[in-house]
Amino acid sequence: MVITEDDKEYELIPMSPIRRLEKRMERVEEAKGGNYSKDMFSDIVDIVRMNQMIVDELAKSNDALRIELSKLLSRMDDLIVNMKELVSFIKESGEENEERVSVASSGDTMKPVVERLDELIKTNQKITERNDAMLELLDDVGKKLRRPPVRPMQRPPQQRPLPLKI
């Protein structure tokens, strides 16, 4: 991940491979004599191998992230279906309660029960409205997740030496 701020660049990378590279570079700079070219060549090969290992790890983590994101879409669909079922259940129970209230309202003895049922019906209607709003929001989120991501324009990177593949 590259973060730019004014003309400064920051990257999040593991530090242990970099520390090893620094130590090897110090040994290469200090080396003298006939084994200099062999040591330098083996150090370069090791550096290239470490670089390739880092690239491979990044590719694996990227693939794992893609898989998890693809699972998220199906889970969102399941959640939307379950929420719709819940809302329809609440609506049906509210309609049944309205029918019961109209039958029970004929007697004065049932007046406290009727008042309580009226409160419950109002509460159920509020819950239904909120659940409908939640379903709309979840549909919007699902649609946004299905859209291909828009990649922002990136500045061309500064000149860096290309890694050697052997």
Report yes or no on 160 lying in a domain. Answer: no
Q: What is the mean pLDDT of residues 5-30?
A: 76
Report yes or no on 157 lying in a domain. Answer: no
Residue 149 pLDDT level (bands cut at 50, 70, 90): low
Domain that holds residue 129: 2-146
Report yes or no on 56 lying in a domain. Answer: yes
Residue 10 pLDDT level (bands cut at 50, 70, 90): low
Q: In one letter, which amino acid is 67? A: I
Distance of alpha carbon 136 from the chain centroid: 20
pLDDT at position 52 is: 92
pTM for this predicted structure: 0.33
Q: How far apart are CA 7 and CA 66, in angstroms?
A: 31
* Count of the separate structural domains present in the chain: 1
Q: In one letter, which amino acid is 117? A: L
Do residues 81 and 89 lie in contact, with contact meaning Cβ atoms separated by under 8 Å?
no
Report yes or no on 53 lying in a domain. Answer: yes
Report yes or no on 161 lying in a domain. Answer: no
The runs of H, that is alpha helices, within 5-148 are 16-30, 36-104, 111-146
CA neighbours closer than 13 Å in the CB half-sphere of residue 86: 15
Report yes or no on 27 lying in a domain. Answer: yes
Report yes or no on 156 lying in a domain. Answer: no
Look at residue 34 and tell me whether its pLDDT is greater than 60.
no
Q: What is the mean pLDDT of residues 20-41?
A: 73
Report yes or no on 140 lying in a domain. Answer: yes
